[in-house]
Amino acid sequence: MAKILKDYPNVCLKPEDLDGRIDFSQIFPRPGPVHIEIGTGKATFLLNQAMAQPDVNFLGIERARKYYRYAVDRIGRWSVNNVRIIRTEAAAFLADFIPDSSVDCFHVYFPDPWPKKRHHKRRFFNSTNTEQLRRCLKTGGDIRIATDYAEYFEQIQTVLAACNSRLEKNEFTPTAGADKGEWVGTNFERKYRKDRRRIHTLAVRKL
């Protein structure tokens, strides 16, 4: 039977309602650190992490309508009030709407690897987007990454190393909402663990 997905307006941040750079104090009910997840998928990470860290404000960015609707329904049903989700393309959204030095942590878990060489240009991690992440981070803020795709992981390391003087490697610790033995507890991590795929993780901190 088809699952009926409900809309929860208090969970959604609509691109058409935004006018210039976001003031996070206007979109979350309580002040607190801001964490952004890029490529939220079905929001398993967002839900568990937001419940584990109720004092942190989480913004999920998901461009696929199907996953966005699933994520909104899920967060809404659990009445988690420290999460907002926007359906948009992350690179342009960061560039246009996220203020300088306003984000405490970016979570990018299992970004699409676009394995074909001619599609590599679609990958999220490139020098432009990395510079945007760095610009948006507060000093001392983190970018946390997990992927099963070794060749993309190498590229990500290379791109981040090019920002070397302004980003330093940090320890990647399991997230608060992850289950025992997991790094981040997303759907893709769970799927790949079952397949016994190696998972690569990396964290860097803005200097």
Ligand X SMILES: C[S@@+](CC[C@H](N)C(=O)[O-])C[C@H]1O[C@@H](n2cnc3c(N)ncnc32)[C@H](O)[C@@H]1O
Footprint on this chain of ligand X (rule: CB under 6 A): 38-39, 41, 61-64, 67, 89-91, 109-110, 112, 124, 186-189
State in angstroms the smallest separation of the CB of 131 from ligand X. 15
158 SS3 class: helix
* Residue number, nearest CB to ligand X: 39
What are the tokens at 165? 């003087």
State in angstroms the smallest separation of the CB of 105 from ligand X. 15
Q: Which is nearer to ligand X, 96 or 112 (CB)?
A: 112
- Give CA–CA dist 126/26, Å, rounded: 31
Q: Which is nearer to ligand X, 67 or 204 (CB)?
A: 67
Distances (CA, A) of 116 to 79, 113, 121, 146, 187: 40, 9, 10, 20, 23
**Using an 8 Å Cβ cutoff, are 146 and 184 in contact?**
yes
State in angstroms the smallest separation of the CB of 139 from ligand X. 25
State in angstroms the smallest separation of the CB of 40 from ligand X. 6
- Give CA–CA dist 71/46, Å, rounded: 9
- Give CA–CA dist 120/125, Å, rounded: 10
Q: Which is nearer to ligand X, 38 or 75 (CB)?
A: 38
Q: Which is nearer to ligand X, 39 or 141 (CB)?
A: 39
Q: Which of 96, 100, 112, 179 is catalytic?
A: 112
Q: Which is nearer to ligand X, 151 or 168 (CB)?
A: 151
How distant is the alpha carbon of residue 8 from its chain centre? 20
For residue 96, indicate whether it is catalytic: no
State in angstroms the smallest separation of the CB of 165 from ligand X. 26
Distances (CA, A) of 144 to 14, 17, 38, 45, 128: 25, 29, 11, 13, 17
CA dihedral 65→68→69→75, nearest 10 degrees, is 180
- Annotated active-site positions, please? 112
